[in-house]
Amino acid sequence: MIKLKILLIYPPFPFGRGMASIMCSPPLALLNLAGTVPEHNVDILDLNVDKSYGIKKMEEKLRKYDLVGITCMSATLRMVVNLCKLAKKIGIPTLVGGFHPTLDPNVIDKQDSIDMIVRGEGEITFKELLSGKPKKEILGLSYRENGKVYHNPERPFIKNLDELPFPRNDLVNRKPYQYLWIPAWNCETSRGCTFTCKFCCVNQFYKRSYRTKTPERVIKELYQIPPKVKLVFFVDDNFTLNKKRVMRICKLLQKTRLNKKFVFVCQARVDDIANNPDMVEEMHKSGFICFFLGFESFKQMALNRMNKGYSLDKVQKCINLCHDNGIMVFGSFIIGNIGETKEETRKTFKLMKDFNLDFIMTMPITPFPGTELTAEAIEKGWVEKDLKWENIKSGESKPIMHTPDLTADDIQELLSESYRSFYNDTKFLIRKYLLKSQFFSNPNFKWTRKFAYKFFKNGITKFVMRLDKIVDEAYLTT
Ligand code: B12
Ligand code: SF4
């Protein structure tokens, strides 16, 4: 067997320094892929961390490898294509994987700098490709041969996620990775989601399936996280979908005392949290400090039109439950939900504060390839039929569609307004953090003191300013 030299690249964050200075996560997909081929030499280049690469330096780097593999979200396609062009210029084969090429495989037909794409889960396909197996026999692979593109049949999902090798955490430097300046790492415990939210890529990528690693495997994976990491982000899109499993993970976190070593953040659904007070209590005891929840909107009709599938009566219950248990709520919202006007969106901004959310993040409605929303948007003319992601410089941060009620400019204006309304409202912040602060009054929030020094050292104002910067960068870059 020939030992190959492979370079796996994570392209830079399209929003530039603002967002990257607040959060920087390890490139888990690439660490996983590297774990499948210990027989080859794999290097990882995370361009969010190493910003010293110009064209010349990149060319010199690429020359040292037999193959370059790049992860690709829609927002990074332009960058990925540029990297592939550079690699092809010096004769290095290119391989691209991730959400964008999976949900728009025709990207290989349109971009002749891309030699191969891996559709769907990459681990087995990548290993087979490097083993020298004939390309035409590799499921999930699309490739170019003699100027013609072939799309092999798709690969079935991996049945048992416990059989995946561990991510090669040793291939990157731990230090740059942080969430709000707390040394952080990512861990994946399940794949997919069974819900049908219209705008979501995850239910399309995983065809509404849901598979899990066993709680025992999750614990083993946590033991492999590099020393000094304090915060673990479970990247699963719906961590709490199987309550029994969550309860078992919690038991093990307490038993192994990993809840003393780490604090945990996960993504979950509003209704799952509201409906399961015993689970939230157990998660608090196990070290969970923040839930990242996709509220999307506080208008029921808009939620219904987006197939979000939760009802607004759950919101206050969910947030109170989290706060009673010392868990912060990071709310994520879509600006431009179908069926929402400017005034209705502004009502949502007010409710973000009335409901006492701890952090918010807003994203413009985006027609990601393959989603139900995109099909509807094309049909109704809310987006160009032949939208070229490779031409979009600032990713989806700049609105690229309109809705029946909002123009792209309205969406852009509302995005900036959302951050100002939440993070620049001094009265709200003083009331929240000083006068009525659960951080002082609720003993379950004692954990925040551990991080208070770092947070204040970097400065809450600096944090707010950086959020403003995200808004500026996101909308001013073209
Ligand atoms: C964690 C995360 C982040 C982290 C970054 C993590 C990192 N450094 O890797 C943060 C918070 C920074 C982030 C930011 C953003 N994210 Co994000 N993120 C995720 C999340 C929740 C998990 C990613 C992950 O680690 N998964 C686990 C790994 C193992 O799976 P994977 O990445 O899919 O990789 C597998 C395959 O795709 C494939 N593969 C992937 N890359 C490659 C490369 C090669 C060469 C090969 C062969 C195979 C391959 O093989 C892997 C193993 O099976 C996903 C949702 C999801 N379920 O994946 C969203 C997701 C990927 N993010 C998304 C988006 C939109 C963004 C943002 C644009 C959001 C925003 N407005 O800020 C930014 C842009 C970031 C950027 N760099 O451009 C979308 C992407 C949609 C799309 N069509 O592009 C997703 C799908 C969320 C969603 N529900 O829509 N994100
Ligand atoms: S619940 Fe979350 S991950 Fe599941 S389909 Fe809806 S948005 Fe996607």
Which atom of ligand 2 lies at the shortest distance from residue 238's CA?
A: 3
Share of residues in the chain with pLDDT > 70 (%): 90
pLDDT band, residue 396 (cuts 50/70/90) = very low
What pLDDT was estimated at residue 405? 97
Which atom of ligand 2 lies at the shortest distance from residue 267's CA?
A: 2
What pLDDT was estimated at residue 372? 96
SS3 355: coil
Distance from C-alpha of 294 to C-alpha of 310, rounded to nearest angstrom: 10
The answer to whether the CB of 267 is under 6 A from ligand 2 is no
Share of residues in the chain with pLDDT > 90 (%): 80
Q: Separation of 347 CA from ligand 1 center, angstroms?
A: 31
pLDDT band, residue 472 (cuts 50/70/90) = very low
User: What are the tens digits of pLDDT across the range 204-224?
Assistant: 999 999 999 999 999 999 999
Q: Separation of 99 CA from ligand 1 center, angstroms?
A: 7
Q: Separation of 238 CA from ligand 2 center, angstroms?
A: 7
pLDDT band, residue 470 (cuts 50/70/90) = very low
pLDDT band, residue 60 (cuts 50/70/90) = very high
What average pLDDT does the segment 20-28 reach? 85
What pLDDT was estimated at residue 460? 52
What pLDDT was estimated at residue 392? 81
pLDDT band, residue 436 (cuts 50/70/90) = low
What pLDDT was estimated at residue 453? 64
What average pLDDT does the segment 455-463 reach? 54
What pLDDT was estimated at residue 468? 46
What pLDDT was estimated at residue 180? 82
Q: Separation of 71 CA from ligand 1 center, angstroms?
A: 8
pLDDT at 457 over 90: no
The answer to whether the CB of 121 is under 6 A from ligand 1 is yes
pLDDT at 17 over 70: no
The ligand that comes nearest to the alpha carbon of residue 186 is 1
pLDDT at 451 over 90: no
The ligand that comes nearest to the alpha carbon of residue 22 is 1
What pLDDT was estimated at residue 78? 92
What pLDDT was estimated at residue 18? 52
The answer to whether the CB of 293 is under 6 A from ligand 2 is no
Q: Separation of 208 CA from ligand 1 center, angstroms?
A: 17
Which of 56-60, 362-366, 472-476 is the least confident region?
472-476
Question: Pseudo-torsion of CA 231, 233, 234, 236, nearest 10°?
Answer: 180
Which of 22-26, 341-345, 466-470 is the least confident region?
466-470
Distance from C-alpha of 445 to C-alpha of 323, rounded to nearest angstrom: 8
pLDDT at 197 over 90: yes
The ligand that comes nearest to the alpha carbon of residue 127 is 1
The answer to whether the CB of 47 is under 6 A from ligand 1 is no
pLDDT band, residue 240 (cuts 50/70/90) = very high
What pLDDT was estimated at residue 14? 64
Would you list the DSSP string of 282-324? HHHHTTEEEEEEEEE-S-HHHHHHTT----THHHHHHHHHHHH
What pLDDT was estimated at residue 386? 84
The answer to whether the CB of 203 is under 6 A from ligand 2 is yes
What average pLDDT does the segment 17-25 reach? 70
CA 399 to chain centre: 19
Q: What residue ranges in 32-134 does DSSP mark as E strands?
A: 41-46, 67-71, 94-97, 116-118
What average pLDDT does the segment 444-465 reach? 62
All structural domains of the chain, each given as residue ranges with its CATH number in brackets, are 5-151 (3.40.50.280), 177-476 (3.80.30.20)
Q: What is the mean pLDDT of the chain?
A: 91
